[in-house]
Amino acid sequence: MVSLGIAALHGLLSSLSACVYPLIPITTALFGAGQVKNWAQGFMLSGIYVAGMSLTYVVLGITAALTGSVFGAYLGNPWVIALFATMFFYLGFAFAGLLPLPLPNFADKMQVKKNAGIGYPLVLGIVSGFIAAPCTAPLFGALLIDIAAEAAKNESILPGVSQALAFSLGMGLPFLLIGGFALKLPKPGNWLNAVKVIGGIVLLAAGFHYAEDLIKPFPDPSMAVGLAFVGLFLVVFFTILAEPMVYSEKESSMKKIKKTGYLAIAGFGLFLLTTPLAGVLSGQEERAGAMEWRVTVSEGLRDARSTRGYIIIDFWADWCHSCHEMEKHLFHSEEFEAFVKANNITLVRLNADLDENGPVASRYDVRGLPTLVITDSKGEMIYQIVGFRNKVATMRELEYVAQKYLVK
């Protein structure tokens, strides 16, 4: 029950991300135009809409369970990360009203007929679930990896699917409330334009953070704090230039071009401002490398044979955000150091992007990043851990491997 509650909370938090806001016009278009005469009917139709969204996430959960760790590769693929970054950039400008948002326009063109049945809101809910997917990737992606890992242990897929359902219901709660009270939504005005500008800047900053995962960390850690002040100036100055409290139904092309530039710079400024914040909130500093890593499997096998121990192979890549999180929160922890020493383990680190490591990744069926492969001194795989959620969960799984498979 606790895991279901946490999954639902994660869904609710995901629904509060700024990029979910563009889905609100879909709901208001669905329940507007005088079609909803009372709150009960609004809740009924919005419930069907939420059921459609839930169906999307449950199907993704079932797919993750049936395909195992392949979802780790999907969520860590650089092309997918680039797609997410592009979607955030587009949604940022669309949120601010500078670019068209296809799905709401599509919803406006389709007429909600009286007694039209459940098909229309159900289909819109399913499509909306996919549109919201990039916003849920950080939390729901971790849940998908967990479902895949549990299924890989030959356990029932029902617990994982139940978590996916709980996540989707938490995600759909605001839409359920919006549908029930759609007739009381305030009219557009200056306040809504301010929301659009601020929300667009947040989305653009998220796009820059996604794009950052494709290259080396930027800005440089030694310059991050100083650039954060520069970012604060850019956010304030260019947000003011974008005139967030000035509402106009029609804007000239030149004004839209200027506003696009202002928001892009403000979004980049917010990116600079929030970059060092993640390190502060984590409350954890990296310690200088107390662990010694080998760079080839042959070196690891040589050491493991001499000590009659085991090997942990870490498959990683520069663009993999979760790989950097694992490095920071797991590999530099005292718990992991103690585990390595207690179980006589040799550590090997392989960059999955290098062609020379391709055969090794294929041998151990590495499908997602990060992946930890535990082998014996002969190189035979004992266990595989795909993805990284947090230090506690990964250490729990490593302790499970040690108790069941490693002979001390």
Assess whether pLDDT exceeds 80 at residue 117.
no
Q: Which amino acid is at 29?
A: A
CATH of the domain at 354: 3.40.30.10
Q: pTM for the complete prediction?
A: 0.52
Say yes or no: 30 and 129 in one domain.
yes
Say yes or no: 222 and 311 in one domain.
no
What pLDDT, in 10s, does the model give residues 167-185? 888 888 877 777 666 545 4
What pLDDT, in 10s, does the model give residues 197-256? 887 888 788 788 778 766 656 666 667 778 888 989 999 999 899 887 776 667 778 888
CB-CB contact of 213 with 319 (8 Å): yes
Which of 245, 264, 283 is where one domain is finished? Answer: 283
Residue 221, both tokens: 């850690």
Helices 119-131 and 24-31, interaxial angle, to 10°? 170
Determine which helix (DSSP H) or strand (DSSP E) holds 345, and give its type and residue range. strand 345-351
Say yes or no: 21 and 56 in one domain.
yes
Q: What is the pLDDT of residue 288?
A: 39
What pLDDT, in 10s, does the model give residues 37-74? 666 777 777 788 888 888 888 888 777 666 654 444 45
> Which residue, 13, 25, 16, 19, is CA-closest to 185?
25
166, part of any domain: yes
How far apart CA 387 and CA 389 sit, in angstroms, is 7
Residue 321, both tokens: 């955000």
Say yes or no: 56 and 137 in one domain.
yes
Number of domains in the chain: 3
Residue ranges of E strands in 116-274: none
Say yes or no: 203 and 233 in one domain.
yes
Q: Which residues of 339-376 are buried (b: 16+ CB within 10 A; e: fewer)?
A: bbeebebbbbbbebeeeebeebbeebebbbbbbbbbbb
The set of residues, in sequence order, having a beta carbon less than 8 Å from that of 134 and lying 6+ positions away, is 19, 84, 87, 88, 91
Which of 253, 283, 313 is where one domain is finished? Answer: 283
CB atoms within 10 A of CB 53: 28
288, part of any domain: no
Say yes or no: 6 and 67 in one domain.
yes
318, part of any domain: yes
Rg of the Cα atoms in the chain: 24
206, part of any domain: yes
Say yes or no: 108 and 35 in one domain.
yes
Say yes or no: 36 and 141 in one domain.
yes
Q: Which residue range(s) make up the domain with 200?
A: 189-283
Say yes or no: 108 and 78 in one domain.
yes
What pLDDT, in 10s, does the model give residues 246-284? 766 677 788 888 889 999 999 999 988 887 765 444 443
Say yes or no: 312 and 245 in one domain.
no
For residue 28, how many C-alpha atoms fall within 13 Å in the half-sphere facing its CB?
A: 14
Q: What is the pLDDT of residue 149?
A: 56
Assess whether pLDDT exceeds 70 at residue 292.
yes
Which of 160, 185, 210 is where one domain is finished? Answer: 185
Say yes or no: 256 and 346 in one domain.
no
Say yes or no: 313 and 222 in one domain.
no
> Which residue, 157, 147, 136, 169, is CA-closest to 54?
169
Neighbouring-strand partners of residue 349: 314
199, part of any domain: yes
